[in-house]
Structure 1
Amino acid sequence: MTNVSREPFRPAITCDADVTTMWRTLMQPLGWHTNRLHIILVEDDGRSLPHLVEVDEMPGALTREDAVAVLHLLGHLLETGSAALMFARPGGATLTEADRSSCRELYAAATDAGVRLELIHVGTDTAIVPAPMDEVLPRSA
């Protein structure tokens, strides 16, 4: 008989690597047929809440308006703490321009709304890939 804990999964989020580990632990098996956004709220002490919110039927690339709507929702859910987001889509593990654009819009909307985001991730059919802000911002000439 397997000893399965009845305690909810609430990993401590103290650094970007913890966010990556959390998503890679939660999101198995990989593979999505539609674009989705997954949200986990993180308390000020770094403990994630034991709830996963999934928003289905997301567009392939988020517009500024889409990102503002997501952050408006998060602003109502978060009194303090932060949010961990993972944009999931079908396809390969390489970040696409649509992925970069969506993450860029989410980071910008979070800054404008005063909402703290953890490192955003993109989940694909084969991997969960971190999308750090400095990697999704447009390259300077």
Structure 2
Amino acid sequence: MTFQTQIRTQSDLENAWRTLMGPLGFGGHSVWLMALEPDGTTTPMIMEITESEEPIDEEMQASLAELLRLTTTELVPDGRVAFLRTRPGSDGLSAADREWARALYAACRLAGVRHEVLLVANDVMLEPLPLDDLPTGLPMAG
């Protein structure tokens, strides 16, 4: 499937993920990464990190930061990234979702990469989890 659209707003991003993921309902925990051109055009590069139930540690954050840096310097120069966390369940945003958000935003910061707001999807919802919704005073890598 070839998918291309421009991401200019939060609504555009939500619609893009809904189109790519299809109906809500997930059998496992994944984190999806989509690279965006500087003008917001989606690229063919979408990666899935499977078995993502537990948030990543600082060493894995550093590895992810390097991947993000390479993506936005070599594959999509001056681009930005968008993340989607998918998981089973019907509860709202969870502590694990917030830990993933903290780790993903920290990896972007380490890499110096611009990013969109993380979206979280489960069997019944697709919700944004912006950095300012994370509890204050909690450490982030870096």
Into which bin does the TM-score normalised by the smaller protein fall? 0.7 to 0.9
Contact 1:36 1:87 in 2 (8 A): yes
Correspondence for 2:25: 31
Q: Give the structure with higher Rg (CA).
A: 1
Contact 1:23 1:128 in 2 (8 A): no
Q: How does 1:1-141 map to 2 (within 5 A)?
A: 8-79=2-73, 80-138=78-136
C-alpha distance in structure 2 between counterparts of 1:137 and 1:47, whole Å:
32
Deviations 1:35-81 (A, max 9, x none): 11111100011101033211211232233333332222121122221
The structural deviation recorded for 1:16 is 2.0
**Secondary structure class of the residue paired with 2:83:** strand
Write the letter of the residue equivalent to 2:40: G
**Aligned-residue CA RMSD in angstroms?**
2.0
Number of residue pairs matched? 134
Contact 2:108 2:114 in 1 (8 A): yes
Deviating more after overlay: 61-70 vs 16-25: 61-70
Contact 1:104 1:137 in 2 (8 A): no
Change (3 A) 1:68 1:92: farther
The structural deviation recorded for 1:116 is 1.0
**Structure 2 unaligned blocks of 5 or more:** none
**Structure 1 unaligned blocks of 5 or more:** 1-6
TM-score scaled by structure 2? 0.83
Write the letter of the residue equivalent to 2:19: T
Identity of aligned residues (%): 33
C-alpha distance in structure 2 between counterparts of 1:74 and 1:12, whole Å:
20
C-alpha distance in structure 2 between counterparts of 1:60 and 1:31, whole Å:
19
